[in-house]
Chains A and B, each alone.
Chain A
Amino acid sequence: MARYLIVRAGLGLVTIAGVVLLTFVLQFSLPGDPARRIAGPRASPEVLATVRANLHLDDSVPSQLLTYVTDVAQGDLGVSYIRRRPVIDLIMERLPATAVLAVGGLMVEVTLGGGLGLWDGLRRKRSRGLAAANVVLLSIPTYSLGFLLLVVFAYRLDLLPLGGGTSAKELILPAATLGLFGVPYYAAVVSESTRTALSASYMRTAVAKGLPRRVILRRHVIRNCLSPVITLAGLDVAIYLSGVVFVESVFAWPGIGQLQEQAYNELDRPLLMGTVIVAAVVVVAFNLVADLVRALVDPRARVEETG
């Protein structure tokens, strides 16, 4: 198990290195001269030259790459052009809001999707209504779903605030948007593993030895669903933490996604690339964590991966 994790962690590092390389290449192709962005449109040639020298822009490409990689490896993602502050600080400031949204969205999809999936899996026949609802939910683009929820609940019915802050009430709509989108997957996965558990031979044993329904459900059915749900949830948290641009943009949620959109609109190169790198690190890290947690809750995974 330890060896497997070390290999996975090594591969993760290679992936992150690849992302850093990719952002380096992308930086060259973005429009605009970075020195001029910092110094302003009326800067004298001398000032421009100083700025260029500070950014190492006159060095050869390999040497620039080396500077870039060493900086990133030390956690230095550069300084934002517009905000004049280190990119890493800007991202860290936004992290709590994004984390709250991610947890909210995850709770919606796990409880709603898991509940529906369990209900569907315990039925003798698959529910057609659930299948239809899944297909419809899959078809609505996130940004439109968010906007429609906003119009109906916040504007027309005036039940919830329009957004722009991070209070609990303002969390409901964005979290619901984020979560609703994931419900079909969780329902499908939970329903599937419930069916697998119900038809397994250990289930016959459990029923035969007279275990109460509640205990069977908790010990054999739900336990069996945990492993796939954790895999899904790990992936989701990573994606949500790396910035949900559409949802944050619709609800003016002050998280990383909104920061990304602003960075794009302002052509703030270091900020844009910084968020991409941080997001990639988060995705890789959470995949690793999901592997670990799955091994902890599901003995079968441990055997498979060491054997």
Chain B
Amino acid sequence: MGRVLVWYGELTTASSLARRGLLLLLPGLLWLLVFLVIPGLLLIPLSFAERGPFGEVVWTFSLENYRRLLGFGVLGFSLDNLMALLRTLWVALVTTFICVLLAYPIAFYIRAQEGGRRYLLLALVIIPFWTNLVIRTYAWQLLLAPEMPLARLLAALGLVEPGMALFPSAFAVYLGMVSAFLPFMVLPLYSSVERLDQSLVEAVQDLYGGPWRAFVHGVLPQTLPGLTVGVILTFIPAMGMFVVPDLLGGAKHLLVGNLIQQAFYTMRDWPYGAALSLVLVLMTLVALRLYRRYGKEVDLA
């Protein structure tokens, strides 16, 4: 194939371009294929395998893992695994929602500042974003201890027993999740909020009256791109989170992430872990699909 063309100022042929391009792509592509794509696909047959008595993989075709997932376990039928899946969805949704609620005020607040202070505030948001999650999460263990002000306050109000820490508990898990993901939501949202056309919002406000309407019809559509990125960056990792429920939820508020970690790490039950991982991927894909469809509708409005 000797068709000569000019590409970015270079006189060459399509085939030599393709050859060069592939050469450049190949190392990175191969790496991702070998260490990500192919093993990911391997999870599928692995999920139909079984665990041997000592943790090795026995390659058969068995629906045992999925049956266990659905609740048909050794101690009789239980909804607990399905509950864990639903709980994961719920926690991820609530976390994302609370993050959105908090991120808008933060973004607007930053926007309302002048140049230098803006950078400072953005840096303040970025710093926890880059701080290690384990550190940020165990720090909550410290803050929620019985001797700390928050626990004492709640005990004084009679909401908790005096002397008991505020973790492990669902409350602690939500605290940990929101504080983990808030920066992920603020940063993309801010990039949209920064470009907000104030005059448009005021026009909408004139048309509809009331701040709520102004928000929904004026601010929301304009900030949708940033919001979308923020929601995706929050919701999806939240579904796969295990550090926060592990450190702050004890053994009671297990999310799918914890089950997967147990399967791969402590129980050495790779087939079961693979099945769980695939279910997580499925849930993530479905959620993405739904969001894209719903998101389009909001766009049209």
**Real binding pair:** no
The interface of chain A, by Cβ under 8 A from chain B, is none
The interface of chain B, by Cβ under 8 A from chain A, is none
